[in-house]
Structure 1
Amino acid sequence: MKRSASAELEPEGKKRGTGWTLAATTYVFAVVMIGTTLPTPLYPRYQVEFGFGSTQTTLLFSIYAGAVIVALVFFGRLSEAWGRKPLLAAGVIVSLVSALLFLFGDHLGLLYTGRVMSGIAAGIFTATGTVAVLENAPPGRRRLATSLATAANIGGLGLGNLMSGIVAEALPRPLFTPFLVHACLLLLAGAALLGVKESALSRSHSLRLQLPAIPPESRAVFLRAVPGAVASFAIAGLYSAVAPSFMQQTLGIDSSAVIGTVVFTLFGASAACQLLFQGLADRTLVLCGGLIQIACMASLSIALLTGSTLLLVVSAILGGAGQGFLFTTGMRAITAVTEVRNRTAVTTSYFILAYLAMSAPIIGVGALALLTGLVASTIAFAVATTLVSCLCLLGLRQWSNRSRGADGIDG
């Protein structure tokens, strides 16, 4: 039987995954990512508790994103030296430490430390978790595994918002109980990790930093995916860091459940689109994603100017759908053309780009808000993001007009 070109990138003798190992790895990945967004719906409550404003909220988010980037650099290659499972276990432990810090956080310093720890856990899982999900997939399921990896990442971010908001609203001690629930989920994740196969193909015993690197075979596709990654993660950062503030200040909404649900709609729509539309051609996904991102920014601007909660929800759904189309297409295309020995490096680089796009513009929005107000600064962000989304459409011809069926990691 003829093997696909991408399948030839796999070495012989690789351990095969099963449906259970794929499900277990995806669950562990999602649970760790849930912890990274638990504070988002609680920001209005923290503002009352500690007496800070939207600028402090932006800084808390930026510290988290910065910790993700640092973790990607420092831990990106450790899975090759230590193996995937030990590094994933370390990520679960760090996430549990973050949950405990928030559980007993009675001053701002503990919140900052908790955000740093959650960023480190996310950084570990963003690179190693993605590769582990791909390598724990059964033969012939690379496309599904790629979608599950990005959906666990993005879907976990959304579930963190939803769970935190609902638990805080429905149960006592709203700044304590969401993190207690998450700690329990992490203990289950530790148990599930025992059933995950060690998928590292070799042990290099190298402790070199995972500096941003794009292997030669991936460069053209990587550069093609840049506008989509930048636009989609910038929008995700806006909703994660700034949405609670403008919902409270502009729309008069301070319910943790409502805030968490609105932010969840973005990440939930992203995860759903990644799973439901994985069979479409790359060019179709990029075209839809670019147009949807532009519509998202238009509806967000109108929502802020008119004070419409409905349009805000619509913009969140559109933003998530656009992210699902663009980001998963870029990830799928990059991993499909990258040799297995280079996948951790290129995945790390892709997510470093994404988290830079998620944090840097949000810092700008927070700073500009001090001068012009939150509505004006957010609309300026919308205009800039629209221009980046247009770059996706300008490069449309470079994307494949066919749906790739090759399973690049299955061999």
Structure 2
Amino acid sequence: MTTELVRPRVQPARGLSRSGSFWFIGGIYALFLMASTAPSPMYSIYQQRWGFTNTVLTEVFASYSVAILVALLLCGSLSDHVGRRPVLVGALVLEITAVLVLALAPGVGWLFAGRVLQGLATGAATSAISGALLDFQRPGSSQGSLVNGVAAALGMAGGSLLAGVLAQFLPGPTLTTFLLLAAGFAVAIPVVLAMPEPVARTSPLREALRPRRPVVPAGQGARFALMSTMVLASWTVGGMFMSLAPSVVKGMVHSYPSLISGLPVAVLTGLGGLTQLLLSRWAATRAVRVGAGLMIASLAGVAAAEVAGDVDVFFLAAALLGVGWGLMFMGAFRMLTGLAAPHQRAGTSAMIYIVAYLSATVPSVALGYLSTVTDLRTATLTFTAAAALFAALAALSTLRPRP
């Protein structure tokens, strides 16, 4: 079975080509993920301005992730039924609203509201984008999975780094970045409308709009659950770096605070994206096993850097951790999406991201609470031990023979 059976005929002379749409969709995904990490280097500014604790900080991060989960649960398969373009346009409009709320936020309540709206928009877009990448990729290739991982990683790196630079060196540190992002999303809307629609509407509009659950590929439940430990390992690390790592590194370096706050996420996700790009031909199993080893070693380095207060060791370990993180998520996404039939692509991608965001959210909130009742060092050491355990479990999950 191929996806060509469900695609309407599209005149190639009108709008974007299938190839152009593929790369544009990858760029849109990077832009959504840029917006997701842009607040990370600004959290310390918000903390100083409004006086909230690390627990509240991680709750703000968690509100974004929970909203993504809600969106994935309610419309994870929606684009499989109504088409990719309508879902993407709606997500872009909602994302513009979200970043404008964040740009103008006068208090922590607005920060929560903006992150919730942003999570809903990103969650709605994520499964549609993942499905579209698989629809538009060259037949017989794995380009979709590769671009999905690379765009996400480089987008997160670019958002954190750009926001850190702008917050450090330009006036309006919590305004400029979000206004630029809003402009980027606005420009994307007419381009999405120019894309061919790869999905034919197969059900009445009322039925298509009924909320649908993300799916686990039929007959693959046990294997999907086992391989999900790979996602657990990589996104636990991602969640910690996007929430508490800026505070950890700011405790080691006292100059250029906004710029320094943006670097941990940029180093982790930037090197993760480049690793996926350079090592894309690696087998998924090999990527997971090597990634697990690198993650365990580098997490020990992060713990040592925190104990010694050595920022050089911290960033060296973060760089190595980024390589392992990139390999782990590349292998995990490829193995899990490989279980799905074409008509389950968006729904399966949604389920993968539900696992991912739960893995990022729950440990981060727990660590935020722990850092408030104890201290940031205790929370960091606890995190590194837990994440190393998850990486070891991910490597062990690859030892089960294929059916």
Q: What is the TM-score when the length of structure 2 is the normalising length?
A: 0.91
Gaps of at least 5 residues in structure 1 are 1-7, 401-411
* Cα shift at 1:399: 6.5
Specify the SS of the correspondent of 2:142.
Answer: helix
Specify the SS of the correspondent of 2:20.
Answer: helix
In the alignment, structure 1 residue 300 sits paired with structure 2 residue 302: yes
Aligned partners of 2:285 and 2:331 also within 8 Å: no
Q: Which amino acid aligns with 1:12?
A: L
Deviations 1:239-289 (A, max 9, x none): 000012222235446621222122111111121122211111222111111
- The verdict on how the C-alpha distance between 1:399 and 1:132 changes in structure 2, with shifts beyond 3 A counting, is farther
Aligned partners of 1:298 and 1:382 also within 8 Å: yes
Gaps of at least 5 residues in structure 2 are 11-16
Q: Which amino acid aligns with 2:363?
A: P
- The verdict on how the C-alpha distance between 1:210 and 1:294 changes in structure 2, with shifts beyond 3 A counting, is farther
- The verdict on how the C-alpha distance between 1:222 and 1:9 changes in structure 2, with shifts beyond 3 A counting, is farther
Q: 1:72 maps to what in 2?
A: 72
* Cα shift at 1:60: 0.6
Aligned partners of 2:72 and 2:214 also within 8 Å: no
Specify the SS of the correspondent of 1:198.
Answer: coil
Q: Which amino acid aligns with 2:330?
A: T
* Cα shift at 1:215: 2.1
Deviations 1:137-178 (A, max 9, x none): 2334x3122111122223222211011111112211111111
Q: 2:148 maps to what in 1?
A: 149
Alignment map for 1:2-401 (pairs within 5 Å): 8=1, 10-12=3-5, 14=7, 18-140=18-140, 142-204=141-203, 205-252=207-254, 255-398=257-400
* 34-43 or 231-240: bigger deviation: 34-43
Q: 1:406 maps to what in 2?
A: none
Aligned partners of 1:221 and 1:333 also within 8 Å: no
Aligned partners of 1:21 and 1:137 also within 8 Å: no
- In 1, Cα distance between equivalents of 2:389 and 2:161: 31
- The verdict on how the C-alpha distance between 1:395 and 1:314 changes in structure 2, with shifts beyond 3 A counting, is same
- The verdict on how the C-alpha distance between 1:56 and 1:177 changes in structure 2, with shifts beyond 3 A counting, is same
- In 2, Cα distance between equivalents of 1:203 and 1:154: 33
Aligned partners of 2:77 and 2:212 also within 8 Å: yes
- In 1, Cα distance between equivalents of 2:395 and 2:112: 39
* Cα shift at 1:221: 4.1
* Cα shift at 1:341: 1.2
Specify the SS of the correspondent of 1:216.
Answer: coil
- In 1, Cα distance between equivalents of 2:256 and 2:116: 26
Aligned partners of 2:299 and 2:384 also within 8 Å: yes
Deviations 1:281-318 (A, max 9, x none): 22211111110110121011011001111122123222
Aligned partners of 1:28 and 1:190 also within 8 Å: no
* Cα shift at 1:83: 1.3
Aligned partners of 2:67 and 2:120 also within 8 Å: yes
* Cα shift at 1:13: 6.0
Q: Which amino acid aligns with 2:90?
A: A
- The verdict on how the C-alpha distance between 1:56 and 1:187 changes in structure 2, with shifts beyond 3 A counting, is same
* Cα shift at 1:211: 2.6
Aligned partners of 1:222 and 1:330 also within 8 Å: no
- The verdict on how the C-alpha distance between 1:237 and 1:219 changes in structure 2, with shifts beyond 3 A counting, is same
How large is the Cα RMSD of the aligned pairs? Answer: 2.0
Q: Which amino acid aligns with 2:230?
A: G
* Cα shift at 1:20: 0.7
- In 1, Cα distance between equivalents of 2:256 and 2:113: 25
* Cα shift at 1:199: 1.6
